[in-house]
Amino acid sequence: MTSRKIEVLVGLFVALAIAAFMLLSLKVANSGMAGSGETYMLYAKFENIGGLKVRSPIKVGGVVVGRVRSINLDTEEYSPVVAMEIDSQYNNFPETSSVAILTSGLLGEQYLGLQPGFVDETVSILKSGDYVEDTKSAIVLEELIGQFLFNRGSN
């Protein structure tokens, strides 16, 4: 085996590995979000986050605009605070916007639905670090059943 042939074959091997890595990172992973890179943070306080997790998607009308960065418990009010990392190309949400914790399908995972609000002169635009005031907590099945039974009982 001449050294030239070995070099060519090793080169081929490395090229194949690079091609595999490109396939994995471009076609398999969600490079769309990682690609644009620039993000900003918004916060929202909920009463109950249900099954929301770190890295759950944030959707506006079904389009993913960001992901949940972290979930912490506020030590004063003991209510969960969700930090949302949103792509900076969507930086025009007015402060009248609302977030709700929704579920995709009957058994699907939970995500944050961001609903843009109305705009007029008195309404300012949400900046990085702002809180979204209007939030709707996750629907917990047990609470729903409890309410239903309670209503039945009072009738």
Partner 1 sequence: MIVDKLQQLGQKSIAKIQGMGRATIMLFGALVAWPTPRKSFPLLLKQLYVVGVLSLLIILVSGLFIGMVLALQGYTVLSKFGAEQMLGPLVALSLLRELGPVVTALLFAGRAGSALTAEIGLMKATEQLSGMEMMAVDPLRRIIAPRFWAGVISMPLLAMIFTAVGILGGHLVGVDWLGVDSGGYWSAMQANVDFQQDIMNGVIKSAVFALIVTWIALHKGFDAVPTSEGISQATTQTVVTSSLAVLGFDFILTAVMFGG
Per rule CB under 8 A, is residue 3 in the interface with partner 1?
yes
Question: Token pair 């995709």 is at which residue?
Answer: 104
How far apart are CB 129 and partner 1 at their closest, in Å?
Answer: 24
Beta carbon nearer to partner 1, 34 or 141 = 34
Per rule CB under 8 A, is residue 32 in the interface with partner 1?
yes
Per rule CB under 8 A, is residue 149 in the interface with partner 1?
no
Residues 50-109 that bind partner 1 (CB under 8 A): 55, 57
Nearest to 51 by CA among 141, 154, 127: 141
Segment contacting partner 1 by CB under 8 A, of 7-15, 80-88, 91-99, 115-123: 7-15
How far apart are CB 52 and partner 1 at their closest, in Å?
Answer: 16
How far apart are CB 70 and partner 1 at their closest, in Å?
Answer: 13
The β-bridge partners of 73 are: 80
What secondary structure, in 3-state letters, does 80-140 show?
EEEEEEEECCCCCCECCCEEEEEECCCCCCEEEEEECCCCCCCCCECCCCCEECEEECCCC
- CA 54 to chain CA centroid, Å, is 8
Beta carbon nearer to partner 1, 72 or 124 = 72
Return all residues near 48 (Cβ < 8 A) that are at least 6 apart: 80, 137, 138, 140
* Rounded Cα–Cα distance for residues 136 and 120 (Å): 23
Residues that bind partner 1 in the complex, under the rule CB under 8 A: 1, 3, 6-7, 9-10, 12-14, 16-17, 19-21, 23-25, 27-32, 34, 55, 57
